[in-house]
Amino acid sequence: MAISLVALNMAVVVLESLLYGAFLILFCAGLYLRISRYTSQSSRNGLCLNAVVISTVAIFLACTGHWIMTVICFVRAFLDYKGPGAALEYYSGDPDAIMNVGSLFTLITLWIGDAVIPGQVHRLWVIWDRSARVVALPVLSWSGLLIVSLAGTPTLFKQSEYNRSAMTAAWVFKALTNVYCTVRDELLKRNY
């Protein structure tokens, strides 16, 4: 038995809201701990605005934007469209600007996450003693993800066939970055 598109989107809104709530709690707790750590030290260096802090705030803002777009789409499907089957018509039609902006927030989260969050390029760079040779492939892969995503983004805002090849290439670049960073990390662990 196939799941209806409306039921699937209802489940998406519920699960995404639960996960966003957990993320919001963890973000606030982490921010509180970071602020209390730096305000309790005798030498105040400020909030220590390093790459990880800035990227964490940027990811929080992008996730918040994506969640807001998801909720707006859900409300529009049931309130703006009138008549029976209106929600199904809304979800099965071409993506509107709100859905596309939500997809753009997802891409922004991927870009930032792959560049800085531990376990990716930044962590690899730090662990391997800031060796440019080690991070060359993931940086190129991340650049490919950025270029392909930017090239595919304008197709999100057109009422035409979705550009699957650009998104597929973006996911391939993301997977390449993840696999390479994981393998290099494991190689380092085995050597020590």
What is the residue-wise DSSP string for 114-165? Answer: HHHSTTSHHHHHHHTTT-HHHHHHHHHHHHHHHHHHHHHHHHHTSSS---HH
What are the pLDDT digits (tens) for 84-129?
A: 778 888 887 777 778 878 888 988 888 887 777 545 677 777 888 8
Q: How many CA atoms lie within 13 A of 136 on its CB side?
A: 4
Q: Summarize pLDDT for 118-129 with one digit per residue, the tens.
A: 456 777 778 888
The CA distance from 113 to 120, in Å, is: 8
Per-residue pLDDT of 64-73, as tens digits, reads 999 999 999 9
Q: Which of 36, 63, 62, 60 is nearest to 48 (CA)?
A: 36
Q: What is the pTM of this model?
A: 0.73
Q: Is the pLDDT of residue 180 over 80?
A: yes
**What is the predicted pLDDT for the residue at 16?**
96
